[in-house]
Structure 1
């Protein structure tokens, strides 16, 4: 089963458990601040997706498989739960909602649509894999080495959250060869049919291009109770760029 980080409320839970599925190259740890804040009156369980963090390694990274992983976690917690996913995690959450809707009470999809994208993220897997970890002892050394393949300091900082410097030599807590090989599936969409009959929030960054107005018809066909909201001043990493606004918007939707 997927590795999880559980955040327990100070008092007995008053609301359904919230499960959080991170995006590509991320981990449950990335969601610590938001998860802790949302755990004031409910249990929040952040997962490491397959081939990420402390979760098992598999040779495939398709959305049916990722949805099955989430279903296993949810069934162990007691369904139905509220489910939130960002980017790759959002697609896995949508896949589960369309195929096992009885497991989910409310769905939050952060900055992704149920469509195939043309962009390719495999260059980042290659950049991380190219770092000679045998020479790395500190985070600063790792960042300097990674800068050869990743120009954006914010992206480097995000990727380095998945570098385990406690190991000697350090190791990436990502199955980089599989993630690179399976990239067509990750940026794609399996064309899943069906409908999720309960409320779904599609929350996007106002500066992001991942969810376009012309995609709303596709979204509504699969999620007829879809609602749409934008976070001002945020791009694709909306939960990291505007965490308080993100948290408050999610809270209002889940508690409506």
Structure 2
């Protein structure tokens, strides 16, 4: 797994986990904003950035990614995640709450926390398109809701990369719709005693605030924040505001 690292406060390690179809490089501006407070390390998840391809064999993508990320935690640290990265961070925090000093969840896509028939129908449509060899259509449809990019403006190379990653989206979404990782098991969220902050974009898909509401109801020490004018990709589109909110949560720990 490829690891990216930015200089910062070596006495306060932090780990940042990126979204599906992204890579760890987008944490750079946020890491530089927070360098006086923490030293951020961020892996490229399997099949992303410069990491090896995901082979598509058992276990599922979410489990594979979690198993590769977890050994990077050698001491209690500040854990930050975006989208599927936020659900991996939450999965780790539930399994090992003692490993987390603070937990910042940006747009966590744990769909099982707040089932939404419309969103689930959309995600099942994406799966069906992939299974029927319509991966390009599936990719453009998925990104129109969850990626915030204009498909037609992407270069052929970028399109090819994203089309190649759509199978990971399907595997990850299946896990998140059904909570096969049992992140929501009884007593799991309640075991996290570190400060938790849920960050959302004001213009994000409706599933996000519903998920945040459901998670907040079970977390012991939790805050919520919304960034005006931001959508799902707010660490990229609004890095300064995102960094300011992460700072507030880390300083609480």
Q: Give the shorter-chain TM-score range.
A: 0.7 to 0.9
Q: Kindly report which structure 2 residues correspond to 1:140-155, keeping only aligned pairs within 5 A, or say none.
A: 154-155=148-149
Whole-angstrom CA distance in 1 between matches of 2:94 and 2:103: 11
Alignment of 1:1-256 (within 5 A): 2-9=1-8, 13=9, 15-56=11-52, 57-58=54-55, 59=57, 60-74=59-73, 78-112=74-108, 114-116=110-112, 118=120, 119-120=122-123, 123=126, 130=136, 154-156=148-150, 163=157, 175-181=165-171, 183-190=173-180, 191-192=182-183, 193=185, 194=188, 195-208=191-204, 209-212=206-209, 216-221=213-218, 223-256=219-252
Q: CA-to-partner distance for each residue in 1:18-60, whole Å, 9 max, x for gaps?
A: 1110111111112222222222342111111122222232424
TM-score, normalised relative to structure 2: 0.73
**Which segments of 5 or more consecutive residues in structure 2 lack a partner in the other structure?**
none
Flag the 1:81–1:218 CA change in 2: closer, same or farther, 3 A.
closer
- In structure 1, stretches of 5+ residues that fail to align are 132-145
CA distance in 2, matches of 1:172, 1:161: 11
In structure 2, the CA distance between the partners of 1:218 and 1:128, relative to structure 1 (3 Å rule), is: same
1:210–1:236: 8 Å Cα contact kept in structure 2?
no
**Could you give the per-residue CA deviations for residues 74-110 of structure 1, whole angstroms, max 9, x where no partner exists?**
2xxx311111111100111111100111221100000
2:107, 2:201 within 8 Å by CA — same for their partners in 1? yes
Q: TM-score with structure 1 length normalisation?
A: 0.73
Q: Identify which range, 209-218 or 237-246, moves more after superposition.
A: 209-218
Q: Give the drift of 1:217.
A: 4.3
Aligned residues: 229
Flag the 1:25–1:172 CA change in 2: closer, same or farther, 3 A: closer
1:214 to 1:97, Cα distance in 2 relative to 1, 3 A: closer
Q: Distance in 2 between matches of 1:161 and 1:254?
A: 38
Larger RCO (CA under 8 A, 6+ residues apart): 2
Pairwise CA RMSD: 3.6
